[in-house]
Amino acid sequence: MKKSIIYLFAGTLLLSSCKDDEKDKESCSKPFNFSSGAVVINEGAFNGTGSLSHIDLTTNEVRNFIYEDANCDVPAGSVVQSFAINGEKGYVVANGSGEVQVVNLSTFKQEKTILLSYPRYIAFEGEKGFISNGTSEGKVFVINSLNAVTDTIQVATGPEGIFASGGKILVGCTGHWNGDLFTTMVDSVVAIINPSDLSVTNVNTWDKPTDFVEDKNGDVWVSCAGNGQYDNGADKAPAFVKLNVENGVAKDTLIIGEVGESISKITINGSGDIIYYYKGDGVYRVGINGDYINEEVLIPGNFYGVEVDPASGNILTFDAKGFSSDGVVGRYSADGDSITHYSVGVAPNGALIK
Amino acid sequence: MVPTQFKNVEEFGSVIVQEPFLSVAELLTNCSSVQVNNQGGKGATSSVSIRGYSSNKTNVKWNGLSINNLTLGMTDFGGIQSGVVDNISIYKGNSVSDLNDVSIGGVIAMDNELNWKDTFHFQIGSEIGSFGYLGNQFKAGGLIKGFTFQVKSSFLSAVNDFKYKNHKRIGTPNEVQENAAYYNGNLIFSTGWRNKKIKFENHTWFSTKKVESPKIFADSKPSVAFYQDSSIRSVFNFYTPIKKVRIKGFYGINHERFLYNDSLFAINTFYVLNNNHFNVSAKHNLKDWYFEYLSEIQFQNAHNNQFEDVKRRVVSLTKSRIEKRLFKERLRISGTGVLNKIWRPNNVFPGGVIAYHFSMRQFVFKGSGGSHFRVGNFDDLFWPKGGDENLKPEKGWNIEQSVGYSVVIKKLEFKLFGEVYNSIVNDWIQWRDAGEYWAVENLKKVNAQGGEASLEVNFSLNEVELNFMSHYSLTKVTTLESELPNDPSIENQLTYVPMNKSKNRISLVYKGFTGNYVFNYYSLRHTTTDNVERKALASYYLQDLHLMKKWNVKPFSIYSKFSILNLSNQFYEGVSNRPMPGRSYYFTLLLNFS
């Protein structure tokens, strides 16, 4: 009896301590081939890890955890902020964990990790990639075709959205948090980077330039969040600034709300003439010629992102549902009529649509 | 080691005497039914939840002084060693009516007790262990002509550079925890004087700690964040009888300074908190009738660099309790009425508890029903954007029923205990995404129900003593109603609350040697409000082994202990994404003079 107890005890120890934690990469991996549809970016819960979901916009099928499935349940990182593609590679940007995972788009298997401080967004021009670093240090990291960091470009503080247009890279510099003054030191600079010599031209736009779209005429529209109650400087409503990238001139400024409101991410339809954005009460639209400027909210709701499927013109909305449960992607016609909804990962903030 | 569950209160004074180097969090983890969420190694942030309710609903008192952080509501038990106090008690559910408090979930009370018997005593000890852990404690006290004093100190530090296999990074690399060090110091002076009529007591204590924010699984680089928390606290107690009424007067002050710094994101938050308590209580009995009265007022203020000015609040509590004892005190029936008054937000909350306690042969039955209440913390009320000064307090009710049975069969003693409870919290306070910013609201109606059962077996034969204790808890906490449209938390388990947990201990004592084997099990814990399985933390078990030896060489006694924690080197996550240490070793040596 005594021996049995000893063996039982020893067995328990042995079993638990000798567990082989190494996973067989081939057997545990469920590859995913991204050829079309929407890859949804899910930031993840507080203290958790982010994920990617895929929506087949033809069959309406949803597949969650595509990155984890392809990589033996290892997550892409904490706070997955954005996703971009360049050729056959995908780039998953996780700002919480400070890294960019480079994946093969035909399998979604991770091929390389680029370690960076607080990466936010990534854009490509030629063989170079440009990654914004959202801190007060005001840096843009440059990677080469081998996904190695080759240069660091100094721009104004708090670089956020980054966009390739007309052979240039545009970076929205929103400012930075001052912990001592408990206020955001607001910036209004769009840095235009020449990829060939990495020179920078600064263009003053409007407070907190955040995101970009290019219209059918080749002009770039910059969404500017404006200046709020806890920002340094005079209060300002949100606005769009229209830029001519080639000569670095702000052509027009369109104020689109009241002081105290804010905008961030924007998107444009396939024909490049209607921009969609969201405020606290839902999705709005504005034509590049000023159409719909006084229109009521197009899709009411509390959203964390908006995209347009260029093929169908359908609008996708991203509802983070309190950031602690699965989020919901809504699909609407261009006129705001509901089509369907998809359940995705935690805290979806946008999608890349191919 | 066995909690006194047949009483209304679980007490752990005897555990502290035996194992003063156990942290309060470890003691509660191993010896009580409460849930402790630990975020890392020794000294890491540890919060306690009772009956599934979140940690900011657990009131914590130290020598009668409320030490919950005024801005956040919760108490961090990380690093506080149980040896700095003499007793720790847990009041669950309606039993808080036994204390000067009103709470949802329960109250944890830590107390320093003056020694009115020994003329002189001291204790000195050290503990060393894995991952750069070092602890030192000193205690001395004495009694001279009605004057008693005691000094206690503890100083602890740990590097927490433990290795772990990172399952959340490609290739599951072996990593070493970084930026996870902590330092904690406590110094407590207790003095008292008494004669036949009156008694004075004072406890004054200083606490300081610095805790670095450890790297989480998903981090590619160590964090640079840390927090520092320092406090000075003092309480004065005055006791005197007036005829047959026993009167107690109390004044306490809690002054706390807190700093959180993260240079990467330019976050520098600091605050200064003050809480002044005054209360007077009286006890009296007239034959089989027992009366208690309490009146307390707290003046609270907080200066936070994120508030525009100093925020103030006044909270008062008036309580009357009456108890009738019948059938030679086998049946006790009590009624408690409370009136809470809060200024800013202006609220009056009346409440009450009705309870009974009945013992019959080997059985003990007890049950109660009553209301409970919690006011939001300072961040809820005063945060510049999203806080709401007019936030309603959480309130609701709780009922509970328990039965205990004990029997001795020859050399075997059995103790069985079972309890069920059901409680509701209305106007549950929660922050929600309000579009432009986050805002606090009274959003939900939440139900906590469950049961606890324990079995204790004691056996002694000649020089051998064997003790077995097993405790099981079933905890179900769900949202019943919500103001949020299509709230995914409806009917789902609250995050981080395991539905099932079991704590088990076998102790063997033989010729001054004691061996303890501990086996604790925690079921799956959800991290998302919609209870997505894939995002849940896996169930886990932990095994610890302790070997102790005590030598008595009067007037000295020497105590030594060798411990292996996480014996099976189990991988587990207490809190999502937080690496936990694997197997670790500790050695304690303690010298007592009395």
Phi then psi for residue A335, to 5 deg, are -95, 5
The confidence score (pLDDT) of residue B2 equals 35
What is the band of A10 on the pLDDT scale with cuts at 50, 70, 90? very low
Nearest to B385 among A64, A118, A229 (CB): A229
Beta bridge partners of A249: A244
Q: Mutation target for B interface from A118, A325, A346, A349: give the one with most B CBs within 10 A.
A: A325
| B564 or A18, higher pLDDT | B564
What's the CA gap between B561 and B128, in Å, rounded?
11
Cβ atoms of residues B350 and B363 within 8 Å: no
The confidence score (pLDDT) of residue B79 equals 74
> Taking Cα atoms as reference points, which of B399, B329, B410 lies closest to residue B364?
B329
Complex confidence, ipTM: 0.84
Residue type, B59: N
Q: Return the residue matching tokens 């954007």.
A: B385
Q: Which residues of A touch B169 (CB under 8 A)?
A: 74
The number of C-beta contacts closer than 8 angstroms across A and B is: 129
The confidence score (pLDDT) of residue B364 equals 95
Nearest to B268 among A99, A180, A325 (CB): A180
Residues recorded for chain B: 594
Phi then psi for residue A19, to 5 deg, are -60, 130
What's the CA gap between A29 and A68, in Å, rounded?
8
According to DSSP, the β-strands at B58-62 and B106-111 are parallel
B211 CA: distance to closest CA in chain A (Å):
18
Is the four-CA dihedral B487, B55, B403, B328 of positive or negative sign? negative
Angle value at C-alpha A161, between A284 and A281, nearest 5 degrees: 25
Task: Show the beta-strand stretches assigned E in B42-131.
Answer: 46-49, 58-62, 65-66, 87-92, 106-111, 120-129
10 Å CB burial of residue A23 (0-12, 13-18, 19+) is middle
Q: Which residues of B touch A279 (CB under 8 A)?
A: 435
According to DSSP, the β-strands at A220-224 and A239-244 are antiparallel
Phi then psi for residue B404, to 5 deg, are -125, 150
What's the CA gap between A116 and B582, in Å, rounded?
29
DSSP summary character for residue B24: H
The confidence score (pLDDT) of residue A16 equals 43
How far, in Å, are B369, B381, B387, B430 from residue B390 at the CA level?
Answer: 29, 7, 9, 14
What's the CA gap between B277 and B293, in Å, rounded?
16
Tokens for B233? 């606290």
Tokens for B422? 């059901």
The confidence score (pLDDT) of residue B268 equals 84
Contact B265 A113 (CB under 8 A): no
How far is Cα of residue B285 from the mean position of the Cα atoms in its chain? 31
> Taking Cα atoms as reference points, which of A61, A125, A131 lies closest to residue A102?
A131
What's the CA gap between A305 and A287, in Å, rounded?
19
What's the CA gap between A161 and A303, in Å, rounded?
18
The confidence score (pLDDT) of residue A44 equals 94
Q: Mutation target for B interface from A135, A324, A346: give the one with most B CBs within 10 A.
A: A324
- List, for residues A270-323, the tens digit of each pLDDT value: 999 999 999 989 999 999 999 998 899 999 999 999 999 999 999 999 999 989
Q: Return the residue matching tokens 């509901």.
A: A338
- List, for residues B438-485, the tens digit of each pLDDT value: 899 999 999 999 999 999 999 999 889 999 999 999 999 999 999 988
The confidence score (pLDDT) of residue A24 equals 55
Q: Is A297 an interface residue toward B (CB < 8 Å)?
A: no
Q: Which residues of B touch A177 (CB under 8 A)?
A: 265-267
Contact B436 A261 (CB under 8 A): yes
Q: Is A308 an interface residue toward B (CB < 8 Å)?
A: no
Contact A49 B577 (CB under 8 A): yes
Cβ atoms of residues B184 and B209 within 8 Å: yes
Contact B577 A48 (CB under 8 A): yes
Output the tens digit of pLDDT for each of chain B's 594 residues: 333 444 567 888 888 888 888 889 988 988 888 889 888 888 888 889 999 998 889 999 999 999 999 998 889 988 788 999 999 999 888 876 667 666 788 899 999 999 888 789 999 999 999 999 999 999 999 999 889 999 999 999 999 999 999 999 988 999 999 999 999 999 999 999 999 899 999 999 999 999 999 989 988 888 899 999 999 999 999 999 998 899 999 999 999 999 999 887 778 888 999 999 999 999 999 999 999 999 999 999 999 887 878 999 999 999 999 999 999 999 999 999 999 898 877 888 899 999 999 999 999 999 999 999 888 999 999 988 889 998 999 999 999 999 999 999 988 999 999 999 999 999 999 998 876 678 999 999 999 999 999 999 999 998 899 999 999 999 999 999 999 888 999 999 999 999 999 999 999 999 889 999 999 999 999 999 999 999 999 999 999 999 999 999 988 999 999 999 999 999 999 899 999 999 999 999 999 998
Contact B221 A98 (CB under 8 A): yes
Q: Mutation target for A interface from B529, B566, B570: give the one with most A CBs within 10 A.
A: B529
3-state secondary structure string across chain A: CHHHHHHHHHHHHHHHHCCCCCCCHHHHCCCCCCCCCEEEEECCCCCCCCEEEEECCCCCCEECCHHHHHCCCCCCCCCEEEEEEECCEEEEEECCCCEEEEEECCCCCEEEEEECCCEEEEEEECCEEEEEECCCCCEEEEECCCCCEEEEEECCCCEEEEEEECCEEEEEEEEEEECCCCEEEEEEEEEEECCCCCCEEEEECCCCEEEEEECCCCCEEEEECCECCCECCCCECCEEEEEECCCCEEEEEEECCCECECCCCEEECCCCCEEEEEECCEEEEEECCCCCCCCCCCEECCCCEEEECCCCCCEEEEECHHHCCEEEEEEECCCCCEEEEEEEEECEEEEEEC
A47 CA: distance to closest CA in chain B (Å):
6
> Taking Cα atoms as reference points, which of A122, A124, A157 lies closest to residue A139?
A157
> Taking Cα atoms as reference points, which of B455, B437, B444 lies closest to residue B477?
B444
Q: Is the peptide bond before B3 cis (omega within 30 degrees of 0)?
A: no
Residues recorded for chain A: 354
Q: Mutation target for A interface from B47, B271, B518, B528: give the one with most A CBs within 10 A.
A: B528
Tokens for B380? 């809820």
What's the CA gap between B25 and B16, in Å, rounded?
12
Cβ atoms of residues B67 and B75 within 8 Å: yes
Give the number of other Cβ atoms within 10 Å of residue B53's Cβ. 26
Cβ atoms of residues B21 and B588 within 8 Å: yes
Contact B532 A16 (CB under 8 A): no
The confidence score (pLDDT) of residue B219 equals 87
What's the CA gap between A269 and A287, in Å, rounded?
10
- Quick one: closest CA in A to B536, which residue? A48
Contact A177 B575 (CB under 8 A): no
Q: Mutation target for B interface from A97, A104, A178, A210: give the one with most B CBs within 10 A.
A: A97
SS3 B56: helix
Q: Which residues of A touch B386 (CB under 8 A)?
A: none
Cβ atoms of residues B154 and B139 within 8 Å: no
Q: Which helix (H) or strand (E) holds B196?
A: none
Q: Is the peptide bond before B555 cis (omega within 30 degrees of 0)?
A: yes
Contact A325 B433 (CB under 8 A): no
Q: Is A260 an interface residue toward B (CB < 8 Å)?
A: yes
DSSP character string of B327-379: TTTTEEEEEEEEEEEEETTTEEEEEEEEEEEEEETTEEEEEEEEEEEE---HH
Cβ atoms of residues A207 and A186 within 8 Å: yes
- Quick one: closest CA in B to A281, which residue? B435
What does pLDDT average to over chain A?
91
Is pLDDT above 80 for A11? no
Q: Is A97 an interface residue toward B (CB < 8 Å)?
A: yes
Give the number of other Cβ atoms within 10 Å of residue B237's Cβ. 18
Beta bridge partners of A104: A89
DSSP summary character for residue B16: H
Cβ atoms of residues B60 and B72 within 8 Å: no
- List, for residues A30-69, the tens digit of each pLDDT value: 999 999 999 999 999 887 899 999 999 999 999 999 999 9
Q: How many Cα atoms within 13 Å fall on the side-chain side of residue B204? A: 5
How far, in Å, are A215, A332, B158, B436 from residue A294 at the CA level?
Answer: 20, 21, 61, 21
Residue type, B211: V
Cβ atoms of residues B504 and B493 within 8 Å: no
According to DSSP, the β-strands at B311-326 and B289-304 are antiparallel
Contact A176 B266 (CB under 8 A): yes
Contact B569 A16 (CB under 8 A): yes
Q: Is A99 an interface residue toward B (CB < 8 Å)?
A: yes
Q: Which residues of A touch B495 (CB under 8 A)?
A: 324
Q: Return the residue matching tokens 């031209």.
A: A201
Q: Is B308 left (phi over 0), alpha (psi -120 to 50) or beta?
A: alpha
Give the number of other Cβ atoms within 10 Å of residue B390's Cβ. 9
- List, for residues B4-34, the tens digit of each pLDDT value: 444 567 888 888 888 888 889 988 988 888 8
Q: Return the residue matching tokens 């510049």.
A: B384
